[in-house]
């Protein structure tokens, strides 16, 4: 187990370097980081040169990357060009997005798995067909359309929720945005659970459990669900990173000042340090979530041994 | 335990985050296809052996889901080729005095905030979506199958390198990558969007192709052909490719829908296509400030977008069911 974790951690290093380097190159090579600093005007050449020296932008890109990563590992994510430390932006943005992600994951786990179990057990019934059609529709409608429609209906027409979220972004306010963020994954969780349950329903161990007289709910929760959840857990685990990074659209629609909002602003203003800093953290979240998922397998499936 | 099976879990269930989950799910479901690459050699009524493909085609022709989605797609292709056949006037001709007006003769979907005819714009918007979807899918499928196929066939060092590279791409959220890459592009054509999708989409297909080539190359007939002295290129093209291509087709069909959705999302965020291009994403984005007074300007392009994506996803679903002999 210990050796397995160490090996996985080592495997993460090239992926981490690759992903951050890729984003670093995209941001640095594609855009002129100075361009956003002088407002709408062009910077005058002397100022531009001075700024480039100050931010170390006159050095080769690889050197900038190494310096940057060195700083990151001492907890210094640099300064946004407006003078605010990037860590300060993160401290305000990440709690909001984490709350939003928690709401989304809860929707996926509770609603998604419940619907998947119900439809998987009654494959071919009207409920099954209905839910299956609904998941197809949810998958097909892009998130920004779902979000705008829910905002229009619940927020503007019926007045059930406030159309935009306050800076506090409490859990209560995040329910609808969380549902929007979760919607597509929710449909996948439902379909995955359904497929998995329907497949395992015919397996020998379920028949044995039924044959030895276990009550139905025990067969389903203890035997069937536990084995069927393995692909679902994988999906939800890898989804955590995607949800946090994919909240750009949802956060924009509901005016939530989280990671997606900061990233969007950073990209529009060509704020290199902000973008690279946030992406670095997101990549770490993604990798750690993947590692945790792999370790969770052992809990769900004792046959899996890590050597 | 080899490097790539290190997780102890079946590869197929590891749903990578990437181009939206559709492909991930398709990936895991398509996995089952790889195990029966040859397809059943059932005998047809004429006593002639049927291939997997003719079997699948027979199934598809009787599947109402396939027929409906294929008809929708044919209609979309038709209006993207000849939009003027069903919509008169130019999508760029707008009349501010008619802004936000509702349905009326000549403009069944009403007018948007700029007084443009929503019906005409919705019809003309199909071209962008279909072009981006088809070209991006072609690019991704070709690049992904070639890289994944070679990695799976030859294995070894380059295979490991490719696997690590795909890991890197999966670690970057797609919308985020699109924002970063496309925010600096000034060209207002579909090409940067397509290029970006190919750049970030190929690892998905390459993973599938690699897996199915690895499964296919272990088959007895491949070993037999190799023993008979077939060259690598002959093995790959004649024996492995035909039997490994099914999962790629399934995933690519479903991915087509997600690329259309992604193009609209990027255009909505302001980095995909920009006005004066006509795209559903642009129209939805432009209509959202007027959502209280003119919801129709938002609903029609959204509906068209949803139906289009749905048609491609359902087509992919139907094709997968037809190609998966386990479900028969």
B44: left (phi over 0), alpha (psi -120 to 50) or beta: beta
The number of domains in chain A is 2
Domain extent, residue B30, equals: 2-50
Which residue among A73, A98, A127 closes a domain?
A: A73
Contact between chains at B269 and A282 (C-beta distance less than 8 A)? no
- Is A304 in the B-facing interface, judged by CB distances under 8 Å? yes
Residues of chain B found within 8 Å of residue A184, distances taken between Cβ atoms: 20-21
Residues A167 and A38 in one domain: no
Of A22, A136, A185, the CB nearest to B313: A136
Domain extent, residue A51, equals: 2-73
Of B16, B257, B284, the CB nearest to A238: B16
- Is B179 in the A-facing interface, judged by CB distances under 8 Å? yes
Q: Which of residues 11-50 of A touch B (CB under 8 A)?
A: 11, 14-16, 18-19, 22-23, 26-27, 30-31
Q: How much of chain A exceeds pLDDT 90, in percent?
A: 7
Kindly give, in sequence order, each residue whose CB lies less than 8 Å from that of residue A296, ignoring residues fewer than 6 positions away: A233, A237
- Is A161 in the B-facing interface, judged by CB distances under 8 Å? no
B48 or B110, higher pLDDT: B110
What distance in Å separates the CA atoms of residue A122 and residue A130, rounded to the nearest whole number? Answer: 12
Q: Which of residues 215-254 of A touch B (CB under 8 A)?
A: 230-231, 234-235, 238-239, 241-242, 245-246, 248-249, 252
A59 or A240, higher pLDDT: A240
For residue A307, tell me if it sits in a domain. no
Model confidence pLDDT, tens digit, residues B185-204: 777 788 888 998 998 889 88
Question: How many interface pairs between A and B have CB atoms less than 8 angstroms apart?
Answer: 169
What is the pLDDT, as a whole number, of residue B293?
Answer: 76
What is the pLDDT, as a whole number, of residue B141?
Answer: 92
In sign, the C-alpha dihedral spanning B280, B282, B286, B292 is positive
What distance in Å separates the CA atoms of residue B47 and residue B262, rounded to the nearest whole number? Answer: 47
Question: b or e along A261-298 (b: 16 or more beta carbons within 10 Å of the residue's beta carbon)?
Answer: bbbbebbebbbbbbbbbbbbbbbbbbbebbbebbbbbe
Residues A133 and A53 in one domain: no
> Can you tell me the ipTM of this complex?
0.79
For residue B56, tell me if it sits in a domain. no
- Is B31 in the A-facing interface, judged by CB distances under 8 Å? no
Place of tokens 């998995």: A196
Residues of chain A found within 8 Å of residue B290, distances taken between Cβ atoms: none
What is the pLDDT, as a whole number, of residue A35?
Answer: 61
Model confidence pLDDT, tens digit, residues A73-129: 787 777 776 677 888 888 888 888 889 999 999 999 999 999 999 998 888 888 888
Model confidence pLDDT, tens digit, residues A35-50: 656 655 666 777 777 7
Residues B271 and B323 in one domain: yes
Contact between chains at A235 and B15 (C-beta distance less than 8 A)? yes
**Cα distance from A35 to chain B (closest Cα, Å)?**
11
Contact A112, B21 (CB under 8 A): no
For residue B203, tell me if it sits in a domain. yes
**Cα distance from B196 to chain A (closest Cα, Å)?**
12
For residue A295, tell me if it sits in a domain. yes
For residue B254, tell me if it sits in a domain. yes
Residues A15 and A108 in one domain: no
Q: What is the mean pLDDT of residues B55-61?
A: 81
Residues B22 and B116 in one domain: no
Model confidence pLDDT, tens digit, residues A173-187: 888 889 999 988 899
Confidence of residue A285 (pLDDT cuts 50, 70, 90): confident
Model confidence pLDDT, tens digit, residues B235-294: 888 888 887 888 888 888 888 888 998 888 888 888 888 878 888 888 888 888 877 777
Residues A135 and A66 in one domain: no
For residue A267, tell me if it sits in a domain. yes
Whether residue B321 is predicted with pLDDT greater than 70 in this model: the reply is: yes
Q: Which of residues 210-269 of B touch A (CB under 8 A)?
A: 257, 261, 264-265, 268-269
What is the pLDDT, as a whole number, of residue A261?
Answer: 86
Model confidence pLDDT, tens digit, residues A152-162: 888 777 877 77
Domain of A248, CATH number, reads 1.10.3720.10
Q: CA torsion, points B302, B305, B307, B310, in degrees to nearest 10?
A: -120
Whether residue A307 is predicted with pLDDT greater than 60 in this model: the reply is: no
Q: How much of chain B exceeds pLDDT 70, in percent?
A: 82
What is the pLDDT, as a whole number, of residue B12?
Answer: 36
Contact between chains at A264 and B179 (C-beta distance less than 8 A)? yes
Q: How much of chain A exceeds pLDDT 70, in percent?
A: 91
């Amino acid at each position: 187990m210990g050796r397995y974790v160490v090996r996985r951690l080592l495997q993460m290093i090239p992926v981490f370097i690759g992903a951050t380097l890729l984003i670093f190159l995209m941001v640095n090579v594609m855009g002129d980081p100075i361009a956003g600093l002088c407002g709408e005007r062009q910077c005058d050449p002397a100022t531009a040169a001075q700024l480039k020296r100050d931010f170390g932008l006159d050095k080769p890109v690889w050197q900038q990357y190494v310096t940057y990563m060195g700083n990151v590992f001492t907890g210094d994510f640099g300064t946004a060009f407006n003078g605010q430390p990037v860590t300060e932006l993160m401290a305000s943005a990440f709690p909001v997005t984490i709350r939003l992600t928690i709401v989304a994951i809860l929707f996926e786990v509770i609603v998604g798995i419940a619907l998947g179990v119900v439809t998987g057990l009654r494959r071919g019934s009207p409920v099954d067909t209905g839910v299956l059609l609904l998941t197809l529709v949810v998958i097909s409608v892009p998130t920004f359309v779902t979000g705008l429609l829910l905002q229009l209906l619940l927020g503007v027409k019926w007045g059930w929720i406030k159309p935009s979220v306050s800076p506090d972004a409490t859990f209560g306010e995040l329910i609808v945005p969380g549902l929007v963020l979760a919607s597509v994954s929710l449909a996948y969780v439902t379909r995955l659970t359904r497929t998995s349950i329907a497949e395992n329903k015919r397996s020998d161990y379920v028949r044995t459990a039924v044959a030895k007289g276990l009550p139905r709910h025990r067969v389903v929760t203890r035997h069937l669900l536990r084995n069927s959840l393995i692909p679902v857990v994988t999906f939800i685990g890898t989804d955590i990173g995607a949800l946090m990074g994919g909240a750009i659209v949802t956060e924009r629609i509901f005016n939530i000042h989280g990671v997606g909002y900061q990233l969007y602003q950073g990209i529009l203003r060509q704020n290199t340090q902000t973008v690279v800093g946030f992406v670095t953290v997101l990549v770490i979240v993604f990798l750690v979530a993947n590692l945790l998922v792999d370790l969770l397998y052992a809990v769900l499936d004792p046959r899996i041994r890590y050597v | 335990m080899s490097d790539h099976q290190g997780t102890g879990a079946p590869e197929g269930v590891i749903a990578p985050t990437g181009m939206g989950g559709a492909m991930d799910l398709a990936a895991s479901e398509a996995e089952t296809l790889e195990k029966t690459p040859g397809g059943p050699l059932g005998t047809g009524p004429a006593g002639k052996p049927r291939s997997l493909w003719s079997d699948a085609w027979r199934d598809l022709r009787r599947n109402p889901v396939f027929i409906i989605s294929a008809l929708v797609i044919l209609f979309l292709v038709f209006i993207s080729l000849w939009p003027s056949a069903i919509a008169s006037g130019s999508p760029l001709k707008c009349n501010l005095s008619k802004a936000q007006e509702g349905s009326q003769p000549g403009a069944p979907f009403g007018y948007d905030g700029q007084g443009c005819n929503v019906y005409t714009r919705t019809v003309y918007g199909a071209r962008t979506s279909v072009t981006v979807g088809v070209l991006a899918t072609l690019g991704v499928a070709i690049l992904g199958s070639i890289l994944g196929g070679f990695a799976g066939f030859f294995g070894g060092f380059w295979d490991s390198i490719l696997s690590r590279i795909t890991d890197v791409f999966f670690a970057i959220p797609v919308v985020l990558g699109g924002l970063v890459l496309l925010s600096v592009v000034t060209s207002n054509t579909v090409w940067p969007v397509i290029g970006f999708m190919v750049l970030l989409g190929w690892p998905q297909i390459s993973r599938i192709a690699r897996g199915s080539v690895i499964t296919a190359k272990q088959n007895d007939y491949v070993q037999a052909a190799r023993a008979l002295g077939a060259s690598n290129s002959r093995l790959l093209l004649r024996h492995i490719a035909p039997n490994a291509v099914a999962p790629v087709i399934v995933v690519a069909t479903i991915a087509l829908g997600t690329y259309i959705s992604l193009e609209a999302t990027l255009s909505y965020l302001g980095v995909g296509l920009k006005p004066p291009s006509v795209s559903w994403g642009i129209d939805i984005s432009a209509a959202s400030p007027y959502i209280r007074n003119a919801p129709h300007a938002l609903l029609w392009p959204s509906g068209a977008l949803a139906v289009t994506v749905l048609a491609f996803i359902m087509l992919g679903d139907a094709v997968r069911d037809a190609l998966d002999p386990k479900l028969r």
